[in-house]
Amino acid sequence: MSHFLHAHIREIIDLTDDELEILQGFFTKKRFRKRQFLIQEHQPVHEIFLIEKGILKSSIIDNTGKEHILQFAAPNWWISDFAGFFKQETSSLAVECIEDSEVYAVSYEDLNILCSKVPTMERFFRIKSNFGYVALQQRILSLMSKSAKERYEDFIQQYPGFIDHIPKQLIASYLGVSRETLSRLYS
């Protein structure tokens, strides 16, 4: 059984050994190399991913061909095209590895079956979703009301330790500033 998976779940809820055994069967371990896509745009979204190793990003390409980064994710974070997944629509985002990565995948059908068989997992995903909601809310307020310098400081705080693992061009895209502006912020 995966120690990582259990430790991750037990940060939020208590599960019996039997429940952990059931849970294990619903997650599939997958490995991806740097630059591989977990999700490509305009495709059905089958799974959400819990990251054990690596760094990933979700992003959108606008009409002018410019990439906008919605989220970075490192170990213990979840990533997917959540809109596509929860609404069972095709993806508008792409999810791609920034480094070689190992993840646990769970499908839409299995997520619902798991929550029926182990109702405490409903609570786990509710709490995770609540905290995800709060993080996005902070991101919106940051985009609306803060200077580039303050957004950069928020980034350092929200993604501690990421700064040395993510190409500067991607951080600039996440912050919505040019590469040159970013250089001025961290120099």
Q: Which is nearer to a copy of itself, 131 or 186 (CB)?
A: 131
- Nearest distance in Å: CB 119, a copy of itself: 5
Strands 101-107 and 47-53: antiparallel
- Nearest distance in Å: CB 100, a copy of itself: 26
**Strand positions, DSSP E, 123-173:** none
Write the CB contacts of 35 (distance below 8 Å, at least 6 apart in sequence).
96, 97
Q: Which is nearer to a copy of itself, 62 or 164 (CB)?
A: 62
| Calpha distance 103→80 (Å, rounded) | 11
Among 41, 59, 33, 38, residue whose Cα is nearest residue 49: 38
Q: Find where tokens 């809820």 sit.
A: 13
- Nearest distance in Å: CB 15, a copy of itself: 15
Q: Which is nearer to a copy of itself, 3 or 66 (CB)?
A: 66
Q: Interface with a copy of itself by CB under 8 A: which residues?
A: 60, 62, 66, 68, 70, 82-83, 86-87, 92, 115, 119, 122-123, 125-126, 129-134, 136-141, 143-146, 176
- Nearest distance in Å: CB 173, a copy of itself: 9
Q: Which is nearer to a copy of itself, 43 or 129 (CB)?
A: 129
Write the CB contacts of 149 (distance below 8 Å, at least 6 apart in sequence).
185
